[in-house]
Amino acid sequence: MKDTRILKATKENFELAKQEILQGDVVAIPTETVYGLAANAYDEAAIQKIFEAKGRPQDNPLIVHIADLQMLHDVVSEVPETALKLAKAFWGGPLTMILPKNDRIPDAVTAGLDTVGVRMPSHPAAREFIRTCGVPLAAPSANVSGKPSPTTAEHVYYDLHGKINTIIDGGTCEVGVESTVVKVGEDSVEILRPGKISINDFLKVVSTVTIDDGVFTKLDDDRPVASPGMKYQHYSPNANVIMVEGSLSDFCRYVSKSANEKTAVLVFDGEESLFDIPCVTYGRRNDSVMQANRLFDALREIDRREDIQTVFARVPKQEGVGLAVYNRLLRACGFEIVSMEKAVIVGLTGHTGAGKTTVGELFRKDSDFGIVDCDIVSRTVITQPDVKARLVEYFGEEMLLKDGQIDRKALGKRIFANEEDRIFLNSVMFPPITVQINKEVQQLRQKGYHLIVLDAPTLFESGANIICDTIVSVLAPAEIRQERIMSRDNMTAQDALNRMNAQKDDEFYRSRSEFVIENADSPEQLNAQVERIITVLKEKINGN
Name the residue nearer to ligand TXA (CB basis): 64 or 471. 64
Beta strands in 205-315 (DSSP E): 208-211, 240-245, 263-267, 279-281, 310-314
- Minimum distance between the CB of residue 192 and ligand TXA, rounded to whole angstroms? 6
Rounded to whole angstroms, the Cα distance separating 91 from 72 reads 12
Tell which positions 341-370 bind Mg ion, by CB under 5 A: none
DSSP 3-state of 523 = helix
Name the residue nearer to ligand TXA (CB basis): 149 or 519. 149
- Minimum distance between the CB of residue 235 and Mg ion, rounded to whole angstroms? 9
Rounded to whole angstroms, the Cα distance separating 11 from 13 reads 5
Q: From residue 281, how far is each of 348, 401, 452 by CA, in Å?
A: 28, 41, 26
- Minimum distance between the CB of residue 58 and ligand TXA, rounded to whole angstroms? 12
Residue 63, contacted partner among Mg ion, ligand TXA, none, CB below 5-8 A by kind:
ligand TXA
- Minimum distance between the CB of residue 163 and ligand TXA, rounded to whole angstroms? 16
Q: What is the largest CA-CA distance in the chain?
A: 91
Name the residue nearer to Mg ion (CB basis): 141 or 436. 141
CB-count exposure of residue 441 (10 Å: 0-12, 13-18, 19+): buried
Rounded to whole angstroms, the Cα distance separating 537 from 544 reads 10
How many binding residues for Mg ion (CB under 5 A)? 1
Print the binding letters for residues 82-121 with Mg ion: x by CB under 5 A, - otherwise.
----------------------------------------
- Minimum distance between the CB of residue 228 and Mg ion, rounded to whole angstroms? 11
Name the residue nearer to ligand TXA (CB basis): 36 or 237. 36
- Minimum distance between the CB of residue 138 and ligand TXA, rounded to whole angstroms? 9
Rounded to whole angstroms, the Cα distance separating 297 from 283 reads 11
Query: Residue 366's closest CA among 486, 479, 451?
Result: 451
Q: From residue 56, how far is each of 22, 49, 98, 111, 406 by CA, in Å?
A: 22, 10, 20, 11, 62
In the complex, the residues that contact ligand TXA under the rule CB under 6 A are 31, 33-34, 36, 60-63, 94, 96, 98, 110, 113, 115-117, 119, 139-141, 178-179, 181, 192-193, 227-230
Name the residue nearer to ligand TXA (CB basis): 62 or 86. 62
DSSP-assigned letters across all residues of 293-336? HHHHHHHHHHHHSTT--EEEEEPPP-STTHHHHHHHHHHHTTT-
Residue 288, contacted partner among ligand TXA, Mg ion, none, CB below 5-8 A by kind:
none
Name the residue nearer to Mg ion (CB basis): 141 or 198. 141
DSSP bridge pairs for 278: none
Name the residue nearer to ligand TXA (CB basis): 61 or 355. 61
Name the residue nearer to Mg ion (CB basis): 327 or 519. 327
- Minimum distance between the CB of residue 196 and Mg ion, rounded to whole angstroms? 15
Rounded to whole angstroms, the Cα distance separating 209 from 323 reads 14
Q: Give me the residue whose beta carbon is nearest to Mg ion.
A: 141
- Minimum distance between the CB of residue 336 and ligand TXA, rounded to whole angstroms? 21
Q: Give me the residue whose beta carbon is nearest to ligand TXA.
A: 229
DSSP 3-state of 410 = helix
Query: Residue 472's closest CA among 420, 502, 509?
Result: 509
Tell which positions 125-154 bind Mg ion, by CB under 5 A: 141
- Minimum distance between the CB of residue 289 and ligand TXA, rounded to whole angstroms? 16
CB-count exposure of residue 115 (10 Å: 0-12, 13-18, 19+): middle
Name the residue nearer to ligand TXA (CB basis): 73 or 379. 73
Residues that bind Mg ion (CB under 5 A): 141
